[in-house]
Amino acid sequence: MTERRPAGRYGTLAMTLHWGLTLFVVIALAGPLGVEKSMEDPVRAARATAHASMGATILFFMLFRLGWRLRHPVARPRGPAAWEIAFSYALQYLLYLAVIIQGCLGLAIALTHTGQIELFWAFNLYSIGAELPWSYQDVLPIHSANMRVLMVLIGLHISLMLFYFLKAPGSYVIRMLPKWMNRF
């Protein structure tokens, strides 16, 4: 059985994964704007490749983060009511699930898109997925709908953290902030 961490702080790797994935998601959200209109334009094709590569990176690190989290559970914080903790954990795992689904849908699009989407400018996925029974047009609306769900979950996560920060400064939220930020 895995030993639980003290309720004080998350570890350096957990914080690095959290904030690194946060940065990657923000960058990936800006990437797809206008990409789907025309892959003939080299700039849009490059943006699509960058977006797909960022998505694959996020998927890999999110799966790693989920595995890490399941193997290294964090002690439940003291203070919030049991329902608040349950809601917080449910929201967190729904967020993990939505990010993983988004990455898988993005890969499904890249596998069947006839444009030049290459992961990391090296792997043309269309040559692998050309024979799949779906097209990228089948998956794109689901990818877009899941993005909306993801945005709602991110908004709820940020709102919940701001609520806890205002409710009890220096307690629950501080556990995920790097030590150098404690002075703010």
Token duo for residue 88: 């917080």
The closest alpha carbon to 75, from 159, 166, 172, belongs to 172
- The pLDDT of residue 14 is 86
Task: State yes or no: pLDDT of 54 exceeds 70.
Answer: yes
- The pLDDT of residue 170 is 60
Q: Compare 167 and 61 and report the one with higher pLDDT.
A: 61
- Domain boundary assignment for the chain: 12-178
The average pLDDT across 129-139 equals 81
Long-range contacts of 46-52 (CB under 8 A, 24+ apart): 48/113, 48/115, 48/117, 49/116, 49/117, 49/118, 49/119, 49/121, 51/106, 52/106, 52/107, 52/109, 52/110, 52/117, 52/118, 52/119, 52/125
